[in-house]
Amino acid sequence: MCGIVGYTGPQSAITPIVEGLRRLEYRGYDSAGIALGTNNSLFVEKRAGKLANLEAALPANLPTVHSGIGHTRWATHGGPTDSNAHPHLDNEGKLAVIHNGIIENYSELRKELEARGHAFSSETDTESVAHLLSDLHKEHGGDLTAAMRAAVKRLRGSFTLLAIHADAPQTIVGVRRNSPLVAGIGKGENFLASDVAAFIDYTKRAVELGQDEVVTISPEAITICDLEGRAVALREYEITWDAAAAQKGGFTHFMLKEIFDQPKAIADTLIGRLSDNNQILLDELHMSDDEMRQIKRISVIACGTAYHAGMVAKYAIEKWAKIPVDVEIASEYRYRDPIIDKYCLVIAISQSGETMDLLMAVRHAKAAGARVLAVCNTNSSTIPRESDAVLYTHAGPEIAVASTKAFLTQIVAIYLIGLKLAQVRKQLTEKEVRDLYSQMLELPGKVEQILETIEPLRELTRKFVKNDTILFLGRGIEYPVALEGALKLKELAYIHAEGFAGGELKHGPIALIEEGTAVIAILPPADEHGLDEKMLSNIQEVKARGARVVVIAPEGAEVIGAEHIIRIPVTSSLFQPVLATVPLQVFAYEIAVARGTDVDQPRNLAKSVTVE
C-alpha cells in the first residue's frame, strides 16, 4: 500500500524522489514525507494529506542533495498526522527509516527501547525500528547494512524497510519480508522503490529482491546479501512498459483510460495461445499432460475483484474440463483447515502479486502439498515468485485503484486454463477448442463496440446520481458480474450497493424493493437452461414493487418491464461476463464523477493491500 522511493546518484535527489512518489499515488495514501542526506545531517519534512502538502512545505532554498528516501503512508498504527507520517528518526536525528507493512512485535520493542532511554514521538510501529537500528548501527561500528541484518532478525511481521544515515548519506539500505521492494540500475545512480513505476523515467533495468534479502545501494553499486551476510547474486530483468503507458493518454482519469484499454488488453492476453494444430499453448503452467490429468480438484483463491474473476472461472472450468472447482476468499482460506493434497491445483489470482492475504494462502497451500498456479499482472512480484507456475495477464500497468482491465484479463486467462485442461483431459475436441478460442478472439472487437456506443449509457447514468442504494441482479455466470458491478459502485461512488443471485430475491432481498429503488439486471443469453426467462421473471417481480429497472441485455433479446435497456453484442453465455462487465464499469465511473469523488484514488482504499 505505502509508496517507497530511494535515490542515490549525481542529480538533485528531491526530483526523482518526489516524481517517484507521485507515480505511486495510485497505491493510496494519507501522508507523505522525505529524508535527504545533507552534510552530516538529515533534512526531513513530512505532512499529512496529499503529496502537494509536502511539496508546499519544502523550503525554496533547499540545498542540492544527492541522496534520500521518500514515502507515502496509508495509516495503520496511528492516525494520518504529521507526527505519524514517515520518515521516522532516531533521537539523534541522524538515522531515518521508512516502512511499508506491519511490525507485529513493535509494542515489546518499544518497551525495551524506552527502558534504554529512547524517547518516542509518534504512535507508529515504524518508529521502534528507527530506534532499534540506531542502537545496532553503533554496535556494528557504523555499518548500516550489518545493522539492518541484525534488526530484521528481531522483527516479526510483514514489511519493507529503507534506511539512510547522515554519516554515510550516499548509502541507502533496504530489506523486504512479504512486502514489495525492487531496485533500479541507472548510470551512476541507483534506485529503490516499492514499484518500478517510481523510477521508470530513469531506467528500464530492475533487480528482483527475495525474501529477507538486504539490499545496499550507492551511486556506484547495488549489492544484496542474506541475513547472515552471504552475498546474493543480482537477478536483473528488463521493465517492458514505459512511462507513457502509465499516463492518462488524454482521458480525464486513469480509470476511464483503463476501461478503454480493455480491448487491447484482452487481445494481448489471447495472442499466440492456439497452435496451428489447434492446441492451447500454455507452457507457463509447467505441468505435463499426465499431471494435468491427475488433478482431482481445483481451488481458486483471491480477494475483492479477483475473487469475482475466480467465481467466473468456476463456471468455465467445470463446464469444459469437468473438474470440481471451489472458489474461496483468500483471507479466510487458511483459517478453516482446507483439505489439500498433491492432486489439488490451487489457482491464486492477483493483479499486483503482492496481496498479503493471498500470499499467506499460497504459502499454506504449498506447505500442504498442492501445486500453485498464479494468475497475475505484475512481473516478478512476490506471489508469482513463490508459486509453482505463473500465467501473466497482459493488461499493462493499472494505475486506478479500482480494477477494470486487470479483471477482464484475469477472466480471459482463466478461460485459457480451462480450455487447456479440457483439451488435455479429452473433454473437448480440437474443433470445440478451436471454436471456443475463435469466440474469445471476437471479444476485443465486441468490447470495442460497446465502448464506441457508450455515450447514451453515460447520459443515462446521471439519472441515478442521487440514489442512496442500487441493487444488482445476475443469474448463473452473471451472478459474479452483479457482485462486481456492486463492488465498483461502492469503491468509486461510496453508494450502498449489493449484488444478488436473481433466484434469491424471494428469499429475502425483495424486502428492500420500494418505489424508486434502482435495480440493474443482467439478462443471460437464451440457452438450454432458460435462465433468461428466469431473469425476466425477476425483473417483473421488482418492477411490480416500484423499482426503476435497467437491464443489460444481448442485442435482439426481448425485454419487458425495463425502464432502460443497455444492449451488448451477442456471445455465448460463458463469455458474456466479459461484455456485461463493461457497462457496469462505466456506470460506476460516471456516477462517481457526477458525485465528485476521487475516481482514481477512492477513500480508504489502496491498490496493493500488503497487510492482512
pLDDT tens string 418-448: 999 999 999 999 999 999 999 999 999 999 9
pLDDT of 180 over the 70 cut: yes
The x, y and z cell numbers of residue 176, run together, are 523486504
Catalytic residue among 46, 257, 420, 607: 607
Mean pLDDT score of the chain, rounded to an integer?
93
More confident residue, 202 or 25: 202
Predicted pLDDT of residue 397: 83
The residues, any chain, with a CB within 8 Å of residue 377's CB and separated by 6 or more, are 350, 351, 352, 353, 392, 393, 394, 395, 398, 406, 409, 410
Predicted pLDDT of residue 456: 87
Predicted pLDDT of residue 117: 97
Catalytic residue among 2, 225, 303, 376: 2
pLDDT of 1 over the 60 cut: no
pLDDT of 26 over the 70 cut: no
For range 170-194, the mean pLDDT: 94
More confident residue, 74 or 551: 551
CA distance 390 to 383: 9
CA distance 192 to 190: 7
The x, y and z cell numbers of residue 566, run together, are 443497455
For range 3-30, the mean pLDDT: 90
pLDDT of 249 over the 80 cut: no
For range 314-342, the mean pLDDT: 94
pLDDT of 269 over the 60 cut: yes
What tens digit of pLDDT does each residue of 109-162 get?
999 999 999 999 999 999 999 999 999 999 999 999 999 999 999 998 888 999
For range 165-172, the mean pLDDT: 96
Is 2 one of the annotated active-site residues of the chain?
yes
First to last CA, the chain: 12
The residues, any chain, with a CB within 8 Å of residue 130's CB and separated by 6 or more, are 87, 88, 89, 90, 95, 96, 97, 163
Lowest mean pLDDT segment, chosen from 97-106, 242-251, 529-538, 576-585: 242-251
More confident residue, 381 or 140: 140
Lowest mean pLDDT segment, chosen from 213-217, 243-247, 457-461, 486-490: 243-247
Band (pLDDT 50/70/90 cuts) for residue 611 is low
What tens digit of pLDDT does each residue of 391-419 get?
999 888 888 999 999 999 999 999 999 99
- Reported as type and span, the H/E element at residue 191 is strand 190-193
Q: Which one, of 537, 570, 545, 546, lies nearest residue 556 by Cα?
A: 570
For range 542-570, the mean pLDDT: 93
The x, y and z cell numbers of residue 472, run together, are 444488482
Is 607 one of the annotated active-site residues of the chain?
yes
Predicted pLDDT of residue 63: 84
Contact 47, 82 (CB under 8 A): yes
Cβ count within 10 A of residue 528: 6
Band (pLDDT 50/70/90 cuts) for residue 246 is low
Predicted pLDDT of residue 28: 67
